[in-house]
Structure 1
């Protein structure tokens, strides 16, 4: 299930379908402790209903949030911590007019409870334009790829693969006569070698570490990981987070890194070395939407394997913390990401990195 049209103004979701879509988005994103904000915007454009949806217990609980803190979109919208004080559980969400427009977000519920909405302190305003830009960037992935094709992909056990890349990989092993272009042949060969390396690392991990293996997953799609580029659009950054989780839910998050980049990019991926280079581009916040479906799938598989390999090596070496602010490589990665968006890393403070326009 996909999340609709290319623009916020044309996205219309019937009320009876909205909850199912919220569940789908949360599950597809691999977010186990999820809160989602659903904004209802009627035809006249005024945001007046906000609902907090979370899965701390099943089924989803709908809580209506104080709507008085939502200003008219012509002025900065102000969402403060008091907005999270629920006014009681109700089914008002289902009574929305079918012509309403919904903007969806998946956020970490602990992050929400701290009162940090849209990556800014509660006392700072957030404009409706920012809300719409982040919603478009988050939705772009769901409009571009069919998650169901990859649902059975399991990196923890390596096999069986599913989706286009997995089918190519399996068929290339069983059918030497398969017609593949040079890029696909090289990429499949690299994937095969990466699988062997990762399998050895996993054997060592099972022997030395808890049985539950780490897999690649982006568990931090918070709006502070959105950057507004100089040309005005917003993109997601920081796609190299590693976590313990259900492997079948993780490919979608890695694919998002490939699909939310600069659509005007003139670079084309033509070799397996370019596929390796794409991993670096991901860390800079780039993606090449001009890639074919096959190549996107192959690159995504390669990226996941590369990240899992890096994590397992660190884990076996005794490093149990993949991202620590004091580590130099994390600071370098932050600078590289920001430079990709015409931004510059200034300094780190108690509230996190300070960013300014070049």
Structure 2
């Protein structure tokens, strides 16, 4: 999308605060992200192009801490890439500092901006529609985690309580007690779905709290368009690292399965279309464990399949909670959109529960191949 003259001029002033090589030729919108505003900055001659982003301070209240997280993990990955003779300009994101050495710039309106080098000649996908591509997506996230397996620096919590079901239940109980939109009585059955699994999900999270499931570096946004591929289809690197934090690595796996292996849409009104595809589950699992099986503890392998149920359950809870709360968090297209999402995710959860023994068998078989 082309920008009007005044907008482009304002964005040029922002971009010029960063240590860019070459003169800026143009700036245009890139992609359709829901959280950050993303722009492509084209430069003259042989200088690299750049990605300019306005970071959403409503979602990420501490952008400086978020950028420091990104710096830490990309520096660590870069050292590993260099040590094995790889290309650090293509195999890891490169954060570009401002002219005074900071990782971000704050404009006159208080908005936060950051810049990374644009990695040219790459391929990205918005959806994994084949098992082959699902496997590659799993390989990409597995590779990212593997590159950070020996990372020991502290990371800030950029989004409070992310995938922490104990924290989510605190929010849930408060919303049920308040019933601000007067919708609670109409969704008694759906509330029952959530409550009937509360103990089971808390028991899983207790394993994280107790250290039975270790805390590692996690990406926390594992959709396939956050993995870049080269022209041959090989994984280059993971991108969009705003949500990098410490948690169980199973969160990344579970959230990926929720999207990769769903035969329907996240908000599918036709529940007959929704379910878990064992073929896509196997493919993603194979790609992920090809990079991670040798590094994971047995407890992590044992709960890998359950993590898909856990994350999908959390999404059922969050969509239903937002519906009861009057649609204050998620963007909705209709008055019942969050309820449609709730029911679609619950159908996926039921499908996972029905096929859980098969999922566990697949994980066991694939893990044995790589361990």
When normalised by structure 1's length, the TM-score is 0.32
When normalised by structure 2's length, the TM-score is 0.31
